[in-house]
Chain A
Amino acid sequence: EIVLTQSPDTLSLAPGEKATLSCRASQSVSNSHLGWYQQQPGQAPRLLIYFASIRATGIPARFVGSGSGTDFTLTIIRLEPEDSAVYYCQHYGGSPYTFGQGTKLEIK
């Protein structure tokens, strides 16, 4: 089983700043089968990034996914107040398709 560890647990930044969220896998994620999701309070998760770096439909270019192997990053440039949410990574290279524990992003 691949364990995904996200860091930091919480991030507090101001509008306009850049957020860097990390997702580290306990073993290599095959073919960069990794996605990032945003979950705002009281809402279902929303897919942001798939295959580590491809933005999902309708996702602004401010959301940038990168990485391969065991280290993946979600970068959000020019933060906006509505980016306040919990962000999760998930691998889908093979069962079980585990999620990371999440990073809570607060916009000051």
Chain B
Amino acid sequence: VLLVESGGRLVQPGGSLRLSCAASGLTFGDFWMTWVRQAPGKGLEWVASIDQDGGETHYVDSVKGRFTISRDNMYNSLSLQMDRLRVEDTALYYCARAGSSGATSLAYWGQGTLVAVSS
């Protein structure tokens, strides 16, 4: 299983960014997928999860209404659309594979993509 994140960069507060995660080595459509972030020098924070067909999504309160998780099973791709970005969204964003029966433990992780929000 290989998960490769991309799309991270420096962006101004209030701006938008779209992160992507390319998955290979798995039957992508069989699993829930999750985004987890880690601010510099801080711990892990669960951000969002999505079920196999995109019909069920969950978000941490701090990003609700600003971030949107989505997936394209035809292209084995996971996305995170990030709008109205804040300084506190600065972090390394990881894509992770959850289970087939729910947003379970995260058995596979990418190496992360860095988002920096600053003026």
Contact = CB atoms under 8 A, between A and B. Distances in A.
B49 A95 contact: yes
Interface string A15-33: 0000000000000000001
A56 to B, nearest CB: 6
Contact of A99 (B46, B58, B103, B104): B46
Interface in A23-75: 33, 35, 37, 39, 44-47, 50-51, 56-57
Q: Looking at chain B, what size class is its interface with the partner chain?
A: 20 to 34
A100 B109 CA distance: 18
Contact of A92 (B45, B105, B112): B105
Contacts of B106: 35, 37, 45, 47, 90
Interface in B60-119: 60-61, 94, 98, 102-107, 109-112
Q: Which 7 A-B residue pairs are closest in the complex by CB-CB distance? A: A35-B105, A50-B105, A95-B58, A44-B109, A99-B44, A102-B43, A97-B46
A97 B43 CA distance: 14
Interface residues of A, number: 24
A74 B112 CA distance: 26
Given A92-B102, A97-B103, A100-B43, 12 more contacts: A33-B104, A35-B104, A35-B106, A44-B109, A45-B36, A50-B104, A50-B105, A56-B105, A56-B107, A92-B104, A95-B58, A95-B59
